[in-house]
Amino acid sequence: MRIGYDAKQIFYNKGGLGNYGRNTVFYLSRHIKNHEYYLYTPSLRKAINFDLNGNMDNVTIKTPPMVLQGPFKSVWRTRNIVPQLGRDKIEIYHGLGNELPVSIQRKKNIKTIVTIHDLIFLRYPQFYKDLDRWTYKKKFLFSSEIADTIVAVSKQTQQDLIEFYKVSPQKIRVVYQGCDQLYFEKRTQEELQAVREKFNLPENFILSVGTIEERKNLLTVVRTLFHKRIDIPLVAVGQRTEYTEKVREYVKRRKMDNRVILIHNASNYELSCIYRMAGMTIYPSFFEGFGIPVIESLATGIPVITSKGTCLREAGGDAAWYINPGSMEEIGHAIQTLSNDSDKRAEMIEKGYKHVRKFTGENVARNLNRIYNYMK
């Protein structure tokens, strides 16, 4: 079967959507070899290096014809790609990042799938700019309506699609994400020490991973460390936003510069090493579509503290410690307990290793392949 993918995020997004796309194609090309995978991207100029470790025999990368490059390449991706899909004899087109091209529904011989990651912009509009919210609503609703099948990355996203967009439950399939194979691999002490020296990391620290934005709630963790007098450094790895400056201002005002380290440029490999050096991970997000840092923590053998009442329990199962993300009392208690109780840490790590097996790349690939075969 010939399967096409919207690959812009794969080549130009270093964050969650990009990781999802890269992992998905890597897992499929490695574990499901009887399909041909076509990656459609508006450009490869200054693109992220997408290394498939030699699994390129069944993967083809496609860019716009010369006449549609330059200022027209974005239009090609959203509107003019459909004739190209026909010429390539694509049987299924999968929008990996919440979108499908305009007019693809007119190609009756091409089945369509869209992965919807979350509808947080509808549930928590205060975290988004008006224009972004309007754009997301329009794109996500269109893709949800015309897709033959919707892949939701969690049961929470499935329920949000039903609640906000009135999508039929029969149209939605839940396929959990996996995390990069890097996080399952062991690291030597030499590798860890090299990363420790590069980022000047302390011997023991609490780790926070994810874009440093208001919804991820990093400032509450910093405030907890100050008010509860917890003398453990915090290392936060994630993309910088306007909210980052609020965190920096608080850190400077409370003279916590030597206790809070912000890192914005770590590679996936470096991040996998940073996880393994951490004493614990904290991920007190107010809301997520899934929560990959929870899975990454479990895969690297690190206890994780995360939020109650969201889809994060789908990611963490019985292996995580769940807290009210707005409660410094609960966050402080969890940190202090995991710092002092070695038996509790060991129990959580053991449960984590068992739980994370369901998120392996092979499972992700086989679950998606069942959907592709059903649609054929």
* 174-205 residue pLDDT tens: 999 988 888 999 999 999 999 999 999 999 99
For residues 237 and 136, state if they share a domain.
no
Interval 129-157 mean pLDDT: 95
Per the structure, the complete domain to which residue 8 belongs is given by 2-178+360-375
**pLDDT for the residue numbered 79:** 79
For residues 229 and 135, state if they share a domain.
no
**pLDDT for the residue numbered 16:** 83
- Give the model's confidence band at 45: pLDDT under 50 very low, under 70 low, under 90 confident, else very high: confident
For residues 279 and 301, state if they share a domain.
yes
Share of the chain above pLDDT 90, in %: 81
**pLDDT for the residue numbered 75:** 78
- Give the model's confidence band at 35: pLDDT under 50 very low, under 70 low, under 90 confident, else very high: very high
Check pLDDT > 70 for residue 70.
Answer: no
Q: What does the alpha-carbon distance between residue 305 and residue 307 come to, in Å, rounded to a whole number?
A: 7
Check pLDDT > 60 for residue 68.
Answer: no
For residues 107 and 191, state if they share a domain.
no
CB 221 within 8 A of CB 192: no
Share of the chain above pLDDT 70, in %: 97
Interval 98-111 mean pLDDT: 90
Check pLDDT > 80 for residue 56.
Answer: no
**pLDDT for the residue numbered 49:** 83
- Give the model's confidence band at 69: pLDDT under 50 very low, under 70 low, under 90 confident, else very high: low
Residue among 55, 102, 103, 77 at smallest CA distance from 4: 77
Interval 222-258: pLDDT, tens: 999 999 999 999 999 999 999 999 999 999 999 999 9
Per-position DSSP letters for 166-223, written without gaps between them: ---GGGEEE------GGGGS---HHHHHHHHHHHT--SS-EEEES--SGGGTHHHHHH
For residues 199 and 341, state if they share a domain.
yes
Interval 78-95 mean pLDDT: 92
Count up the domains in the chain and report the number: 2
For residues 171 and 187, state if they share a domain.
no
Interval 150-167 mean pLDDT: 96
For residues 330 and 219, state if they share a domain.
yes
Interval 345-369: pLDDT, tens: 999 999 999 999 989 999 999 999 9
For residues 151 and 248, state if they share a domain.
no
- Give the model's confidence band at 108: pLDDT under 50 very low, under 70 low, under 90 confident, else very high: confident
How far, rounded to the nearest angstrom, does the alpha carbon of residue 93 sit from its chain's CA centroid?
A: 21
Query: Which range (38-52, 226-240, 301-315) has the least confidence?
Result: 38-52
For residues 251 and 127, state if they share a domain.
no
For residues 215 and 304, state if they share a domain.
yes
For residues 197 and 279, state if they share a domain.
yes
CB 13 within 8 A of CB 28: no
For residues 299 and 352, state if they share a domain.
yes
The more confidently predicted of residues 159 and 45 is 159
E runs forming strands in the chain: 2-6, 36-40, 59-62, 92-95, 111-116, 149-152, 172-174, 206-209, 234-237, 260-263, 280-283, 304-307, 321-323
The more confidently predicted of residues 93 and 68 is 93
- Give the model's confidence band at 149: pLDDT under 50 very low, under 70 low, under 90 confident, else very high: very high
Residue among 265, 301, 257 at smallest CA distance from 281: 301
CB atoms within 10 A of CB 344: 14
Q: SS3 for 243? A: helix
The model's pTM: 0.90
CA gyration radius for the chain? 21
Q: What are phi and psi of 12, to 5 degrees?
A: -135, 5
Task: Report the CATH number at residue 21.
Answer: 3.40.50.2000
**Would the CA dihedral through 269, 307, 239, 123 be positive or negative?**
positive
